[in-house]
Amino acid sequence: MVQVDLSKFPQRPSDRSQPAWIGLGEASRMLGVAPGTLRRWADAGRVPVFTTPGGHRRFPWETLRGLLPAARSRRPSLGRLGASPDRIARAYRGRGRSSAAPARQWAADLPGAARDGFRERGRGLVGGLLQHLDAPDAALQAAALQAAAQLAAAQGRESAALGVPLDQAVEQFLWFRAPFLDELAALARSRGLDTREATSLLADAGTAMDRLLVAMMTGHTLETGRRRAGA
């Protein structure tokens, strides 16, 4: 199984050792936004910032922490709710048996090694998404999502290398997306999450899935362009 190794990604130190001001990269990871987005927010006055004589932006850590949603820390963990990669995998198997799944037809026709690679990355994506949704702070949330996005981009590159058109690769991803969100919704209902908690969970999951879809499409597009340039 593909493992999402968070040790490769920077993590926020304990509050005791946290500097008062942090750089653009760490601040963007903390908030879970792109550096360019944070630059625009700073330029528009939405986030306090100062610029060093060398031209580097610095952001107040305590202020940024106050911008993070408090609801996430109060939501029950997915582990306590019963969510796990194995449970989600069973939902995918059930979906495959219950429908013809036309979006999956091209994947079913792949050579065995390629098909196994798609499945392994799919399991890695599920694990990464669960890690992201359950992470205790913004830095770990961003790290887990970044790792999952790398797997999604690899899925897109592999699809392009196999000659799968982008629209079919997107259909395949949407087939992957639905059971994950459906299973989270079912868990939220069965475990008695209140409306706020359930809405927060599904909104966070949907946003993460959107990020992975963009990563997959970007990987596919870059690989397609590389192959055309080399033709």
Please count the structural domains in the chain: 2
pLDDT tens digits for 164-189?
Answer: 899 988 988 888 888 888 888 888 88
Q: Is residue 189 in some structural domain?
A: yes
Asked if 158 and 118 count as a contact pair (C-beta separation under 8 A), the reply is: yes
Q: What is the pLDDT of residue 190?
A: 83
- Residue 167 CA to residue 169 CA, distance in Å, equals 5
Q: Is residue 2 in some structural domain?
A: no
43 and 75 fall within a common domain: no
Q: What are phi and psi of 194, to 5 degrees?
A: -75, 170
Q: Is residue 136 in some structural domain?
A: yes
Confidence (pTM):
0.62
- Token pair, residue 141, equals 């949330």
Q: Give me the domain span that covers residue 52.
A: 14-67
Q: What is the pLDDT of residue 4?
A: 40
225 and 210 fall within a common domain: yes
Q: What is the pLDDT of residue 134?
A: 87
- Tell me the CB-side half-sphere exposure of residue 167, using CA atoms within 13 A: 1
pLDDT tens digits for 186-202?
Answer: 888 887 777 777 888 88
59 and 125 fall within a common domain: no
Q: What is the pLDDT of residue 91?
A: 72
Q: Is residue 108 in some structural domain?
A: yes
Asked if 27 and 64 count as a contact pair (C-beta separation under 8 A), the reply is: yes
Q: In the chain, which stretches have pLDDT less than 50? A: 1-16, 71-73, 97-98, 100
Q: Is residue 27 in some structural domain?
A: yes
